[in-house]
Structure 1
Amino acid sequence: MRISNTLLMMLGIVITGASADCLSTNGKEYPFGTYTCDGEHKIVQCTVTGNWTLIATCGGTCTFVGSSPYCP
């Protein structure tokens, strides 16, 4: 049973990569790198192994605005 990676991030649970998928979050493909969201500053890093590492969290999920992801 896979728990939603987005749900875990919204709950503020630190993810070290077990069931996280960098390439298919919310139906979008995300490149490897560190994502910083405005507001409460969620920083999510996609590791080279294809897993998310949640460093900090915010109230929303990361979405793209232009070329940068932001919290809605």
Structure 2
Amino acid sequence: MRNKSVSDSSLKELIKNKKALKIISIGLGILWILILTWIVSIPKYKLIFTLLILAITTIIPILIFMSHIDSEIKKRNSQNS
């Protein structure tokens, strides 16, 4: 997934990468919910800012890469039709 660019990957690899990114994002979402639950149980809410920064900095690159994969899949599907 790292070595090849999106345009160099095959359609099968793109679909596989898209599924993997969905699983990763779901896993991160569950992890963030667990961490948020733990932070709320602590009387001091200083860690919420850290969680928000961590969540934003990890989800944005995933969403950008997923949008590149989606656009490449749509492009290849329209060329094959």
TM-score (norm: length of structure 1): 0.23
**Higher helix proportion (structure 1 or 2):** 2
TM-score (norm: length of structure 2): 0.21
Indicate the structure whose relative CO is greater, using CA pairs within 8 Å and at least 6 residues apart.
2
**Higher strand proportion (structure 1 or 2):** 1
